Amino acid sequence: MLKNNLLSLSKSLIFKPLFNKFTAGENTTSLNNKINYLSKQNILSIVDYVKEFSNNPKDITRSISEYISISKLDSTKYIAIKLSTFNFEYSKICPLLTLMINNNKKILIDAEDCENQDKINDLTDALIYKLNSTDINIFKTYQLYRKDGLNQLKEDIGKFDNKLGIKIVRGAYYNQDFKTGKLFTNKQDTDDSFNKAMDIVFSLPNESFICTHNKNDIDKIIDNVKQKKNIHHASLYGFINKDTDRIIKNGIKTFKYLPYGNMDDALPYLTRRIYENPKILFYFN
């Protein structure tokens, strides 16, 4: 009873305000309203349904239904998915992504924790081979806090050439994965890896997303991307609003990751945001 009461209290006092601040709400109506609100500020949206890590058939069916609804929205072109949402089942994922592409959507496949990333890489590669034959419809995510992240990017460029959609991030699962030995333990090593990945992206014609809240990264993007319409900046909704304005003023296309869905399903997402930036518990910036 005490545990349930504490959980209910934490949801009310901590997660509910965070949910209201950092997501687009619980349904596609509130999502569409938020997409249109951002659009008026020259900010584009990457829609991110928050349900993760499911092996329950009913949950998977519900998630598929949500993504079908998203694919019918005219207000957004880019959609993020986590393959764990569908229990990594290619037979469910490929038809769904095909439908979304037929509705003129592009899909950013998120990286996840180390335990599942190898299977995510294999599935994403299979989807790229199948669905990027005529255009970049599928984007693969590279986590540059991983020791192998930069080499993975280089290998895939050689393998897929200009059919590879690229999204680079530092990574959001450090607290979960740091004991695996697969991540850099020195922040400077991660920063160096990310900077090298940006240099690679700047040199390519591939449509690419650089996802960062780091001010030095943003300065570098502004210095290098003004004439490169294939490269976009992306950040999380509710974060770095002043820097987002600065990016827009420099003529660079910028996106916000816009999560929505049931608040209980959003707890893993919100928990990762707290680990990354604990000060959001005390004030919003």
Q: What pLDDT digit, counting tens, does each position of 80-106 carry? A: 999 999 999 999 999 999 999 999 999
Question: At 6, is the pLDDT very low, low, confident or very high (cuts 50, 70, 90)?
Answer: very low
Rounded Cα–Cα distance for residues 26 and 247 (Å):
29
Residues 6+ apart with CB under 8 A from 258: 23, 24, 31, 34, 35, 38, 45, 46, 47, 48, 237
Rounded Cα–Cα distance for residues 174 and 190 (Å):
12
The answer to whether the predicted template modeling score (pTM) of the entire model surpasses 0.75 is yes
Question: At 17, is the pLDDT very low, low, confident or very high (cuts 50, 70, 90)?
Answer: confident
Supply the pLDDT for residue 164. 98
User: Could you tell me the residue ranges of all domains in the chain?
Assistant: 2-281
Q: At residue 182, does pLDDT exceed 80?
A: yes
Structural domain 2-281, CATH architecture: Alpha-Beta Barrel (3.20)
Q: At residue 5, does pLDDT exceed 90?
A: no
Q: Tell me the average pLDDT across 54-61.
A: 93
Q: At residue 193, does pLDDT exceed 70?
A: yes
Q: What pLDDT digit, counting tens, does each position of 119-147 carry? A: 999 999 999 999 998 899 999 999 999 99
